[in-house]
């Protein structure tokens, strides 16, 4: 389930390494661009996004309104960043595609979710490719609109009494679940605050982070994973 999140994380680490030291022509395996391109070319129409593989190696695809849907488009953006840092060579396979164009194309299926989505707190994950787009083109109005819509959706899950944003919905309003993963969604609040000047979004993110540190981080630095406020 976390396949593309792990790949994206590895690409980000490679990007940071290349940026902090001296960019090299090869980062990670040259098979990565080949496999990512093959996956892009196999995307269903209407678009569905790969989430995990079965025992025979076949991708399982899910509708855009799924919490993992932002990972694959963001992987394409990450390969574009890697290409800009390392440039193409005979050994790194980065000349296989126009990764920016593919990232933009793959993200299109997420745009309608700005109106309605059922992923709850994971709108932050859906925002990832649009955050990457604004790094490249800060004037992209579609990306701005999507990010702001997702930020408002996440902010609406905030409870000032609890001091955090609800993770999963519950039929019982007093059953207020918060998982450690929700920390990764806070970026969309910071991004939207920069775009709109709505400082309340930053305050929500900080309060949620403070609550997480207090209740979900053990003394040894490990995560408690889930907390429930009643």
Given the residues 95, 98, 181, 210, select the one marked as catalytic. 181
Q: Are 50 and 4 in contact (CB under 8 A)?
A: yes
Active-site entry in 122, 172, 175, 210: 122
In Å, how far are 27, 219, 222 from 50, measured between CA atoms? Answer: 24, 37, 30
Give the whole-angstrom CA distance, residue 61 versus residue 53.
9
Query: Is 65 among the catalytic positions?
Result: no
Is 129:174 a contact under the CB 8 Å cutoff? no
Is 169 marked active-site?
Answer: no
Residues recognised as catalytic: 122, 181
């Amino acid at each position: 389930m976390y396949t593309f999140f792990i790949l994206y994380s590895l690409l980000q680490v490679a990007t940071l390494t290349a940026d902090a030291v001296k960019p090299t022509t090869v980062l990670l395996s040259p098979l990565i661009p080949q496999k990512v391109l093959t996956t892009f070319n196999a995307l269903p129409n209407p678009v569905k996004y790969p989430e995990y593989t079965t025992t025979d190696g076949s991708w399982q695809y899910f509708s855009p309104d799924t919490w993992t849907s932002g990972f694959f488009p963001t992987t394409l953006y990450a390969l574009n960043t890697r290409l800009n840092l390392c440039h193409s060579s005979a050994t790194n396979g980065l000349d296989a595609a126009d990764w920016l164009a593919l990232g933009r194309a793959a993200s299109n299926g997420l745009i309608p979710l700005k109106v309605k989505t059922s992923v709850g707190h994971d709108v932050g994950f859906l925002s990832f490719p649009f955050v990457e787009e604004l790094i490249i083109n800060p004037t992209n109005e579609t990306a701005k609109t999507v990010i702001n819509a997702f930020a408002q959706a996440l902010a609406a899950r905030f409870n000032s009494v609890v001091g955090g944003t609800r993770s999963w919905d519950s039929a019982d309003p007093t059953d207020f679940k918060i998982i450690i993963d929700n920390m990764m969604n806070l970026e969309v609040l910071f991004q939207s605050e920069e775009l709109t000047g709505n400082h309340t979004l930053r305050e929500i993110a900080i309060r949620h982070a403070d609550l997480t540190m207090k209740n979900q981080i053990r003394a040894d630095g490990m995560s408690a994973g889930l907390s429930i406020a009643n």
